[in-house]
Amino acid sequence: MLGIFIGLLLLFFILGIPVAFSIGYTCLMVIIAGSGFKDLSFDLFALQMMDGLNSFPLISASFFVLAANVMNTSAITDRIFHFANSLVGHLRGGLGHVNVIASMIFAGMSGTAVADAAGLGNIEIKAMRDAGYPMPLTVGITGASSILGPIIPPSIAMIFYGWLAGVSIGALFIGGVIPGLTIALFMMVQVYFVSRKHKIPLSPRPPVRVMFTSFRRAILSLLTPAIIIGGIYSGIFSPTESGAVAS
């Protein structure tokens, strides 16, 4: 039966059927092959599928994905990148530090590593390549910094874990702050030493006026994580409702 399941799943993937439908069709066919049509209730099958998705905490995942898409299409990611660049771009390996800081800020709004990499990846990779950074270093920093997405709250992974394990999602969010900041700090230390090894040139420090302007343009996105965590901790809204707040 396992061979049939794997074979059908691979067949649907090859045919280009979306992953969700491929898994659903495969499960249905395996159930039919195992029990036949006689003992199979299609109504029960449909109800079980709907019951599995009919969960209030799962709604927040959709809202966080929506928030990430809105930020990508409304150029908020550009504002985050420019603010991070004005803040740490003058350090050794400046754009590498910018990569980490921007990913950390974006993680406080998107909740996933994929959204982080997709939203900021193109901007970061293009800027680093134009500045002469080696491609392996550029891709490595971008990929590594994107893992901050599911660690720094709000996190879709924490929402799923809290929902399945019956653990407080708000407590998980609070517990992810220190580990996320610590990982980002050590990433920046690593970027510094790797940049010295590759002899990445220093960039000039931007004027204070430029830093203030970039901060003013990015202030709403910078306040979003604080609003979400503060609202959850103070009881203004639930962790599930935080997804709608982020959107």
Query: Would you say 55 and 163 are in contact if contact means Cβ atoms under 8 Å apart?
Result: yes
- How far apart are alpha carbons 203 and 42 in whole angstroms? 64
Q: Within 10 Å of residue 105's Cβ, how many Cβ atoms?
A: 26
- Tell me phi and psi for residue 206, to 5 degrees: -75, 155
- How far apart are alpha carbons 227 and 170 in whole angstroms? 13
pTM: 0.75
Angle CA(232)–CA(235)–CA(237) in degrees, nearest 5?
65
Cβ-based neighbours of 97, under 8 Å, separated by 6 or more: 84, 88, 89, 91, 188, 191, 192
Position 237 scores a pLDDT of: 78
116-to-40, 86, 123, 143, 228 alpha-carbon distances in Å: 43, 20, 11, 9, 18
- In the predicted model, residues of the chain with pLDDT beneath 70 are 1, 34-45, 52-53, 247
Q: Which residue has the tokens 């510094």?
A: 192
